[in-house]
Structure 1
Amino acid sequence: MSLRAVWIVSAKSDLPIYSRYFPSVEARSRSTLGNLFVKIPPEREFVKELLIEVGLREGGTFVESRDNCDKQVVYPAFHLKTEHGILWPVVIMECKGFILCALPHDDNNPKIIPPICQVSLSHMPSIALALEVLNGLAECILNSKNSSAEGNLPMTEVIQYVNVSLPFGRPISCDISVCGQLGSVVKGKAKVPTWNPMPHKGKSQVVLHIKEEVRSTQFNHLEMKDSVDVFGTVMCRAEVEGNAPEISLGLIQSAGGNGSGLVVNPGVCNVENLSQTSFRLRFYPSNSQPLCHYSLPLITDPPIFGAFSIKMNDNVATINLQLQLRNNVKNLFQQLEVQVPFPGFVIQSVRPNYSQGSVKIQSRNIVTWNVGSKFPSKTLTATINAAVKLNRIQKPCNNASLDTVTSVDTRSTTFSDNSSGNMNSAYALVLFKIADFTYSGTKIDPQSIVVSTAAKVRCSVSSEFVSKVYKLWNSEGEVPVPASIFAEDLKVLLKQS
């Protein structure tokens, strides 16, 4: 929601004392309303019709729709009749002898223009928004030192309030104290960042967070090599005195990092290579974007090795799963669970045998094994064997109703290799999260953080290691290998099709 225009009118003048139009909102209103669009009249005509509507000036002739004593008034919103049509809603507020006016445009429901006597203001939030803007404008007039005498308008404060609080006609803040800080002129050569134009007051602190993620697909098959991708993001949130603080820090990657996978934000001014795995970043912080991204292509060993197999016998699936934690991984998990989905089936029962944790059925077709918070310290291994009894979802016929679609065939069924009961493409999904740990050893030394505008800064560094897409493929099934085709064979196939 936006405002098409704002006016300040006096009953003693034929022209507004102050007016501000927003052409971008006016163009948007013209395109969305179409034939319902009513053009804003010239200022002299607008003031005349406004003063007549509020009863501060005589209309000269009796107009029943305007001067009838049975007319319903929905203050503070008025219908203003012009030669081009009816402007609605013109929101009005009185302050110290002035009439403050605003004409909103509702971006959500732009074509809802109710009749004059059938208005429900509760269904028009644009009126409340315009009233809030006028309330801030009235507060700006009342609190100004230049408006001690009635009829004296503090033009400087009004212009500053409208410029800051209504950029392009869209209100962002109607608090005059906030607008005063946003519109204050910064002394010296310091530049004001767009992400934080208000100078910070209070204790200075810099919060850094490293989020490292791993993608892995493991086949446990000689014909297919496992894949591991480790990548991370460094976030920085700075609340430091000064308008544009410059921060520098040291980033260390102890495993598989050579700087080739480091991508920095445009706000980073300089990247200095201290060594093959150590860098120093100098930047202006931005709360809306990450500081940098990195990837570690030299890491090829997964943090958790898994061996998963599943076989189908009639309507019973037999699961065998083993997880092995690597020695260099922190053995303390905030989350550690394995999900085995059975799309196209409904799980009737599960008979599990597991070394630790608990097993439950989720969403009727997913077996979830909650491994726990730690692996056994001696073996770092956890296993589960389970027999899952399944019922295949009955496929609906063409004439089947919606009730038939969700029905389940509870009879025992034998699945062939080419049916939906084929477990060749089955997999187990591993979900885990470790706090205060990175698999690559990427870290930030809090002692290396230097802030240009503050001597004492509280610095905190945290990290987490999470699984992104971590799949264990069925080792008893077919290995998913991408098909390769020669160009000549492809041309023949295209001609045949």
Structure 2
Amino acid sequence: MVTEKYCFRGIKHYRLQMNILIVYMMTRRYPTVERRAKTSTAYHPLPSDPEWLDAILMECGETYHGDEMQFVEERDTCDKSVRKPVYELFNGKQWPLVVLEKYGLLFCCLPLLESSSSNKRPSLVELPGVSVGFDLLEQLAEFLGPQAAVLGTTSVKLRDLYNYLNIAAPFGSPIDSNPHTIKSVLQTKLPPWTLKQKQPAWKPFLYKGSPKLHFLIKEQIWAVQYDNKTTPDVWEIAGTIMCKAELEGLPDVSVIITVPDEGSPLDHIVVHPCVQSGDTEEPPLLAQSLSESLAAAAASNSAALKSRKLKFSPPLESFVLCQYMASSVPHLPIRGFYQMKGERVVKLLIQLKLSDKVKNQFEYCEVHIPFFNRGPIINADVSPTSAIVTPSTDKKAMIWNIGNKFPSKSLEMSMNATVYFGDQPPDQISSAVDAFCVGLNAYIEIRFKMADFTISGCNIDQRSVTAYPNVKPKLTTVREFCSTTFRIWNSHGDALMALPFSQATT
């Protein structure tokens, strides 16, 4: 979806010791959009830059007059509806103003609001320009990067900012705001136009060199174990396939994503817009349509769950080819058991067993044992079957470094410990770290990463990878499996859990 912009704003601000806000502002206005706006009955002329500056800073709670903590009735009243990141200025005459604060800057844009037959203000979800404008500001912030906070008014980066807007939105309508693409345009002298086929705007110059294709399959697991007969353990597997294509010309790439017979089917697949088709001969118009066609194919033919064929025209930069869920993985990679009792002197037992379905080789595997709302650890008697246990630097947790492997024969590890705590400081008593994790309500968290493995079995069929026109790229596929949130609650305490809707309402 394309939307025009009245103007773009970027405001630099930083504080001095005297609580003064130093500000400078760059502005980009589009006369073509201004002429369109004048045809609307709701048109209000744009104010001058200084007026804009004062109004934006005041509305966002920033000011360079030293009174930023002052209560302002029209801004701070509880009767005012707040819909960040969208603001209104000058008594609603300038709306919807989209504001993004990032890297010490305020990025603002005012989308063109087409006239409506109704006097009622439309909801934000009915205004695609708001979403497109926010995305443009995000991409623009990424173009400047974290160093934006130290840019000066004469910085070359600010000159590139104007060039960025000329390419991303030449007449006020965002075309391609991808910072990787635009940086390539700014840094590369384009060769004379000799291509017979039309070159897309998202690929402004072509790669020259030996053909290469890189795939990264990264699976992550969220899991919670309760050791409770009435509360089943829950887990979720999500995967991302990244692609980097270094291919000459404007090739089409086909690839088959496979899962072995004993693996877990992939579902809820979402693909990149460059994907033209998948498991179907009809190329969809939108990525969402392709995802729906993949789901329909899976529903009509269970064999389709074990393989996915995608055809795509890759951009130059690394991109997310697709994301998926593996909701029917039948087993956890690590089963655990955690028992903890006591207050000032705590006795705990941890037992872990690695599934024989997963690879017994880790890049790292650690068990973090946090102790919330207690004093610092003053001593600990620890007896692990193997590996090393050390207290954290803040004396609020213990870390069991399992290392790279479980014992090959048993695939089991355990640890007994007695931990002694000192007095809890009064300021920590009044401001609890985690209000729920008090007493026996506690958990341990396992953090691990495996290379060359996915628990679903997802992989790239290397024999299926083809590129048209016919080239034989050097293919590299990397797989990894890691934990994000992998917790085991103390079986002697209570645990946070989500009840099914039928139970929660009874």
User: Whole-Å Cα distance in 1 between the matches of residues 496 and 107 of structure 2?
Assistant: 51
Query: What secondary structure is seen at the aligned counterpart in 2 of 1:447?
Result: helix
Aligned residue number for residue 34 of structure 1: 51
Confirm whether residue 357 of structure 1 aligns to residue 387 of structure 2.
yes
* Distance change (3 Å), C-alpha of 1:174 and 1:338: closer
User: Whole-Å Cα distance in 1 between the matches of residues 382 and 243 of structure 2?
Assistant: 45
User: Whole-Å Cα distance in 2 between the matches of residues 389 and 435 of structure 1?
Assistant: 37
Confirm whether residue 283 of structure 1 aligns to residue 312 of structure 2.
yes
Confirm whether residue 188 of structure 1 aligns to residue 196 of structure 2.
yes
Aligned residue number for residue 430 of structure 1: 446
* Distance change (3 Å), C-alpha of 1:36 and 1:376: closer
1:291 is displaced (CA, Å) by: 0.9
User: Whole-Å Cα distance in 2 between the matches of residues 253 and 173 of structure 1?
Assistant: 37
1:230 is displaced (CA, Å) by: 1.4
Contact 1:306 1:324 in 2 (8 A): yes
Query: What secondary structure is seen at the aligned counterpart in 1 of 2:337?
Result: strand
Normalised by the length of structure 2, the TM-score is 0.59
Query: What secondary structure is seen at the aligned counterpart in 2 of 1:469?
Result: strand
Confirm whether residue 375 of structure 1 aligns to residue 406 of structure 2.
yes
Aligned equivalent of 2:152, options 89, 100, 125? 125
1:445 is displaced (CA, Å) by: 1.8
Matches within 5 A, 1:126-141: 126-129=153-156
Query: What secondary structure is seen at the aligned counterpart in 2 of 1:198?
Result: coil
Matches within 5 A, 1:202-217: 202-217=209-224
Confirm whether residue 230 of structure 1 aligns to residue 260 of structure 2.
no
Aligned residue number for residue 358 of structure 2: 329
Confirm whether residue 296 of structure 1 aligns to residue 326 of structure 2.
yes
Aligned AA (1:347): I
* Distance change (3 Å), C-alpha of 1:216 and 1:161: closer
User: Whole-Å Cα distance in 2 between the matches of residues 281 and 434 of structure 1?
Assistant: 26
1:158-188 alpha-carbon deviations (Å, 9 max, x no partner): xx9996699579996699872434xx54532
Query: What secondary structure is seen at the aligned counterpart in 2 of 1:230?
Result: strand
Aligned residue number for residue 472 of structure 1: 488
Contact 2:255 2:466 in 1 (8 A): yes
User: Whole-Å Cα distance in 1 between the matches of residues 305 and 107 of structure 2?
Assistant: 58
Contact 1:227 1:300 in 2 (8 A): no
Aligned residue number for residue 151 of structure 1: none
User: Whole-Å Cα distance in 2 between the matches of residues 465 and 431 of structure 1?
Assistant: 11
1:130-185 alpha-carbon deviations (Å, 9 max, x no partner): 9977xxxxxxxxxxxxxxxxxxxxxxxxxx9996699579996699872434xx54
User: Whole-Å Cα distance in 2 between the matches of residues 163 and 252 of structure 1?
Assistant: 43
Aligned AA (1:366): A
* Distance change (3 Å), C-alpha of 1:176 and 1:370: closer
Aligned AA (2:190): G
Contact 2:267 2:327 in 1 (8 A): no
User: Whole-Å Cα distance in 2 between the matches of residues 206 and 456 of structure 1?
Assistant: 10
Normalised by the length of structure 1, the TM-score is 0.60
1:308 is displaced (CA, Å) by: 0.8
Contact 1:206 1:460 in 2 (8 A): yes
Contact 1:132 1:174 in 2 (8 A): no
Query: What secondary structure is seen at the aligned counterpart in 1 of 2:154?
Result: helix
1:271 is displaced (CA, Å) by: 1.2
Contact 1:310 1:320 in 2 (8 A): yes
User: Whole-Å Cα distance in 2 between the matches of residues 347 and 356 of structure 1?
Assistant: 22
* Distance change (3 Å), C-alpha of 1:283 and 1:420: closer
Contact 2:366 2:446 in 1 (8 A): yes
User: Whole-Å Cα distance in 2 between the matches of residues 36 and 469 of structure 1?
Assistant: 43
User: Whole-Å Cα distance in 1 between the matches of residues 207 and 184 of structure 2?
Assistant: 20
Aligned equivalent of 2:397, options 360, 366, 370? 366
* Distance change (3 Å), C-alpha of 1:193 and 1:210: farther
1:191 is displaced (CA, Å) by: 3.0
Percent of aligned positions that are identical? 27
Task: Name the count of aligned residue pairs.
Answer: 347
Aligned AA (1:360): T
User: Whole-Å Cα distance in 2 between the matches of residues 162 and 462 of structure 1?
Assistant: 36
Contact 2:244 2:319 in 1 (8 A): no
Aligned residue number for residue 78 of structure 2: none
Aligned residue number for residue 155 of structure 1: none
Aligned equivalent of 1:247, options 250, 253, 278? 253
Query: What secondary structure is seen at the aligned counterpart in 2 of 1:125?
Result: coil
Contact 2:213 2:474 in 1 (8 A): yes
Aligned AA (1:296): A
Aligned AA (1:23): R
Query: What secondary structure is seen at the aligned counterpart in 1 of 2:50?
Result: helix
1:434 is displaced (CA, Å) by: 0.2
Query: What secondary structure is seen at the aligned counterpart in 1 of 2:487?
Result: strand
Aligned AA (1:212): E
User: Whole-Å Cα distance in 2 between the matches of residues 445 and 485 of structure 1?
Assistant: 41
* Distance change (3 Å), C-alpha of 1:326 and 1:261: same
User: Whole-Å Cα distance in 2 between the matches of residues 375 and 161 of structure 1?
Assistant: 52
User: Which protein is bigger by CA-based radius of gyration?
Assistant: 1
Query: What secondary structure is seen at the aligned counterpart in 1 of 2:320?
Result: coil
User: Whole-Å Cα distance in 2 between the matches of residues 29 and 174 of structure 1?
Assistant: 34
Confirm whether residue 387 of structure 1 aligns to residue 418 of structure 2.
yes
CA RMSD across the alignment? 4.4
1:281-334 alpha-carbon deviations (Å, 9 max, x no partner): 11122435411111122113111111111111x411111001101112111100
* Distance change (3 Å), C-alpha of 1:251 and 1:431: same
Aligned residue number for residue 446 of structure 1: 462
Query: What secondary structure is seen at the aligned counterpart in 2 of 1:127?
Result: coil
Contact 2:366 2:399 in 1 (8 A): yes
1:97-146 alpha-carbon deviations (Å, 9 max, x no partner): xxxxxxxxxx8799xxxxxxxxxxxx97332439977xxxxxxxxxxxxx
Aligned residue number for residue 94 of structure 1: none
* Distance change (3 Å), C-alpha of 1:252 and 1:483: closer
Contact 1:241 1:453 in 2 (8 A): no
